[in-house]
Chain A
Amino acid sequence: MANTRGAAVKYDGVQKSYDGETLVVKNLNLDIPPGEFLTMLGPSGSGKTTCLMMLAGFEPATHGEIFLNDRPINNVPPHKRGIGMVFQNYALFPHMTVAENLAFPLQVRGVGKADQSEKVQRALEMVELGAFGNRRPAQLSGGQQQRVAVARALVFDPELVLMDEPLGALDKQLREQMQYEIKHIHENLGVTVVYVTHDQTEALTMSDRVAVFNDGIIQQLSTPDDLYEDPQNSFVAQFIGENNKLNGKVIGVQGEECLVELDDGTQLKADRVNVSAVGDKTTVSLRPERVEFDTNTSMDNLVNGQIEELIYLGDHIRVRMNVAGNKEFIVKVRNRGEKRKLNVGETVQVGWALNDCKALDAVV
């Protein structure tokens, strides 16, 4: 990011409680370097939105300090933080035209009239709505309103932009298109973006780094590919992408590898991620697309299973199998056209590499 003009954000030991009895955010420590696109991802109630609202200044932190460019901002009111924000339902002012909406942050900052209209026009053109300045928000489609909201959050050149599930109200196709657009705007402007979503695809597509929230704690903070390839615990493995769970017990440890005995006695070699010693209960996580039907003896793990169901999805075929007592074992087979025919009820051998299956903390 060569032309970075973003701000650095730092959460230092931040805690938040609404009722004084339970912590919604438990000890959050997070460093966001200038210009980064960071996504807070998690299910509802995981504390991600609260973290964003504390950064925006709408919720006070119960404990700890938040820094913006090394300046503590706990006591700075929201309107003096200079942070752009895109809200879930856009929050475009219905009584103002699009241009007036965009001019609002400039007016309250005392920007001159000529400067205002120039900046407004530039921001509108950035989101390809140059001709829509005189419309009311209600006259725009959902996608257009979304763009106006983004333009309004950027028009006063903030160093940091917060987005609170901004694409939640759009249909799938529009959502995907907007993901790329927001991504490109971020790349062109170099602002720091903190993005909140519960949609993992959105998080993987757009982010430099993703912070996976659950239960008020960051479960894992890594780049999207790391998150998918190397989940640090069962929650992350299940939340990001599709995942086969096999429950068992560690019966041998050797460096970074371990031997797991599943509940039905099958033994697997797995990557030792989140188990420490022999006897630990574990859940082995395995991505459906890493399982092969074309087995050979050099594979680390070879298991027999019965095909329960075949679902044709065009580009791939989902095969639901009964493997080691797990009837929800999914295998994704790419549709190459020449594949040998799979039949329901057939028992076949499947295999996968040691590195593709991770021994994580046990889930009940």
Chain B
Amino acid sequence: MSDTTAGQVLTTKDGKPLKAALARALRREKLRSLALIAPLLIFVLLTFVAPIVDMLFRSVENSIVEDTLPRTVVALREWDPASGQVPDEEVFAALYGDLVVAVEEKKHTRLGSRLNYEESGISSLFRKTGRRVNRMDEAGPFKEQFIDADDKWDEIGTWQVLRQFSPPYTDGYFLNAFDAQRTADGIELKPEDERIYMLLFGRTLFLSIVITVSCLLLGYPIAFLLAALPLRSSNLLMILVLLPFWTSLLVRTSAWKVLLQQQGVINDFLVWTGLISDASRLVMINNQTGTIIAMTHILLPFMILPLYSVMKTISPTYVRAAKSLGANDWTAFWRVYFPQSVPGIGAGAVLVFILSIGYYITPELVGGTSGIFISNRIAYHISSSLNWGLAAALGTLLLVAVMVLFVVYDKIVGIDNVKLG
């Protein structure tokens, strides 16, 4: 029965290739399972993937300048920023034409705010000029009239910004997210006192690692206990572990405020016992300590659950076997039990780390200024400064950072070494 010799194509009885026949036979099955998941797939595509892609696209999208000032953008192409001269009358004429339309459509203020992200003062420049443009002499010359309206039109920097951001796509948001800027000499870092995002990224990473490690240190013994206890008592303990899930996140975070503040429960207790003096109450909130404590507490179940489900599968006979072979308690744990629990550590650590790196509410409430994360800054740009492009760029960076870490983790530990049970 050696029909399967190399090079020979197996066929069905009527001579069709076996592989094609098999694929056809399985196609119905595949289509049916696809139909089953289709509602979810469509839902996820519409409500999750599409908005995210749109949001990420905003980090490079920059058509507002071209849309609002189409003629100026074209005219500016001729201008050489290195010449040291502001553009000539032709560009100003184009600007006048564009602005008249823009003011009519009330679009010039939006452009002003957009360009204000790149250089402050431009917003008010456009507002001011917008009020004046209808009173300008249509016959020109426009250059004098504009400079008369605002001196900023006579500054080369204003025109550099306008020219630099005239293409429909820009790396400006990303440069900003990297604390860099484009100057006449090319890309360079901003002055030290203006760098903020890299610091925030670094802090987010550092605090997330600290939170992950403290979750692991606190969660491992509890998971171990849960897995070792008889079912009845472990169920009770499990309810205690899950209890925080049934309480609102805000309530839990606020509870930490009550506990940790300088006139709070812990400080009062320490003063009462005489461990610290009234004058030297500990500062445990509105700083990094507060963020670490509150987030460790909130994310602890995400560490305990995967650990527990992995530990539950480690048979106690392994430790017994190790002991019967001459290992003391510690060796039996370290050489036999611990290596088998590593997949749980991996799963728990990845889960907690990824959750904490994008956490927002808790750092906002207890982090003060030194304990906030990059996501707080993103939220600020989304809802307060309305600089969505920068928010999108920061979000993209965060996403890329998580993915890079994920790949690194895969290289070091191996992603197939992650087990949720």
Residues of A within 8 A of B (CB): 56-58, 77-85, 87-89, 91, 93-95, 104-105, 108-109, 152-153, 156, 162
Kindly state the separation between the CA atoms of A79 and B317 in the bound complex, as whole angstroms: 14
User: Is B335's CB under 8 angstroms from A91's CB?
Assistant: no
Residues of B within 8 A of A108 (CB): 325-328, 331, 335
User: Is B327's CB under 8 angstroms from A93's CB?
Assistant: no
Q: How many residues of B are counted as interface, with CB atoms below 8 angstroms from the partner's CB atoms?
A: 18
Residues of B within 8 A of A85 (CB): 320-321, 324-325
Question: Which chain A residue has the least Cβ–Cβ distance from B328?
Answer: A79
User: Is B324's CB under 8 angstroms from A56's CB?
Assistant: yes
Question: Which chain A residue has the least Cβ–Cβ distance from B318?
Answer: A91
Question: Which chain A residue has the least Cβ–Cβ distance from B317?
Answer: A91
Does B252 belong to the interface (CB within 8 Å)?
no
4 A-B pairs with least C-beta separation = A91-B321, A105-B325, A85-B324, A91-B317
Residues of A within 8 A of B336 (CB): 93
User: Is A91's CB under 8 angstroms from B315's CB?
Assistant: yes
Residues of B within 8 A of A89 (CB): 315, 317
- B330-351: CB near A (< 8 Å → 1, else 0) gives 0110011001100000000000
Contact A78/B340 with A89-B317, A91-B315, A108-B331 known, Cβ cut-off 8 Å: no
Residues of B within 8 A of A (CB): 315, 317-318, 320-328, 331-332, 335-336, 339-340
Residues of B within 8 A of A152 (CB): 325
User: Is B324's CB under 8 angstroms from A104's CB?
Assistant: no
Kindly state the separation between the CA atoms of A44 and B369 in the bound complex, as whole angstroms: 66
Kindly state the separation between the CA atoms of A80 and B331 in the bound complex, as whole angstroms: 13
Taking a contact as CB atoms closer than 8 A, the residue among A80, A87, A162 that contacts B317 in the complex is A87
Kindly state the separation between the CA atoms of A152 and B335 in the bound complex, as whole angstroms: 16
11 contacts between A and B (CB under 8 A): A77-B328, A81-B324, A88-B317, A91-B321, A93-B322, A104-B335, A105-B325, A105-B326, A105-B327, A108-B327, A109-B326
Taking a contact as CB atoms closer than 8 A, the residue among A57, A88, A94, A104 that contacts B325 in the complex is A104
User: Is A79's CB under 8 angstroms from B335's CB?
Assistant: no
How near does chain A come to B189, taking the closest CB pair, in angstroms? Answer: 47
Kindly state the separation between the CA atoms of A79 and B326 in the bound complex, as whole angstroms: 4
User: Is A93's CB under 8 angstroms from B318's CB?
Assistant: yes
User: Is A94's CB under 8 angstroms from B326's CB?
Assistant: no
User: Is B320's CB under 8 angstroms from A58's CB?
Assistant: yes
Residues of B within 8 A of A162 (CB): 324
User: Is B340's CB under 8 angstroms from A79's CB?
Assistant: no
Residues of A within 8 A of B320 (CB): 56, 58, 78, 85, 87, 91
Residues of A within 8 A of B324 (CB): 56-57, 78-79, 81, 83-85, 153, 162
Taking a contact as CB atoms closer than 8 A, the residue among B315, B325, B340 that contacts A156 in the complex is B325
User: Is B315's CB under 8 angstroms from A79's CB?
Assistant: no
